[in-house]
Amino acid sequence: MLTPISRAAQELSVSQRFLRQLIAQDRIPFYRLSSRTLRVDLEELRQCMKRMAADGQPQAQKEST
């Protein structure tokens, strides 16, 4: 299911900015629905983040609330 960036960031305990940076660097899969609307598949994103962690890529820091 396609999820807004804000919801994905909440689910993964990372910032929206971090996800948007990864999208800009083309490091995570995303879907552009219009010129202003991005969505991610949460399950795809989780798998990608696991691979990034296993490959030694920098991990996201949790936001403090």
For the stretch 12-63, pLDDT in tens is 999 999 999 999 999 999 999 999 999 999 999 999 999 988 887 655 544 4
**What pLDDT, in 10s, does the model give residues 26-38?**
999 999 999 999 9
Domain boundaries, the chain: 2-54
Burial of 40 (0-12, 13-18, 19+ CB in 10 A): buried
Alpha-carbon distance 65 to 61, whole Å? 12
CB 45 within 8 A of CB 8: yes
Q: Which residue has the tokens 């990034």?
A: 52
CB 10 within 8 A of CB 60: no
